[in-house]
Every structure is written in C-alpha cells, then in structure tokens.
Amino acid sequence: MPLYLDRHTLSEEITAEKVAQLHKEDLRVEQKFGCRGLTYWFDDQGKTAFCLVEAPDKEAIKEMHNHA
C-alpha cells in the first residue's frame, strides 16, 4: 500500500495536546477509509503537523481526516 506524508499548516491556537487528540480521532476511523496512521509529528513553533499514513490514495486520507 502507498505511504503518504500529509502536511498540515495549523492555526496559532493549536496545541500539542489538540494535535494528539486529532490523531487519536483519525485512528478511531481509519479502517473505514482503508488507511493506517503510522505516526505524526508536530512543530509547535511553526504550527505545522505531519501525518505518516498508509492509504490507497490521497482522497482516502482526506476523507479520514474529514470524518475524524
């Protein structure tokens, strides 16, 4: 299955705790979209998050994030 590195530019209000919560929500629904979240990284200073995900395609990742 293809491996994707998904990049997110986040708002200034986002905290590491919120990003961790969002990641858990992704993991809760990932199977519905054929995805497997492997890990994530959060740069608090740059307010950027990265998700490493196995997925059939980019659309599956977008759908997973939208339904989490």
Q: Which domains are delineated in the chain?
A: 3-67 (3.30.70.3090)
- So what's the pLDDT on residue 39? 98
- So what's the pLDDT on residue 16? 97
Sign of torsion, CA 13 22 45 8?
A: negative
- So what's the pLDDT on residue 27? 98
Low-confidence ranges of the chain (pLDDT < 70): none
Residue 39 CB contacts under 8 Å (≥ 6 apart), including other chains: 51, 52
pTM for this model (two decimals): 0.89
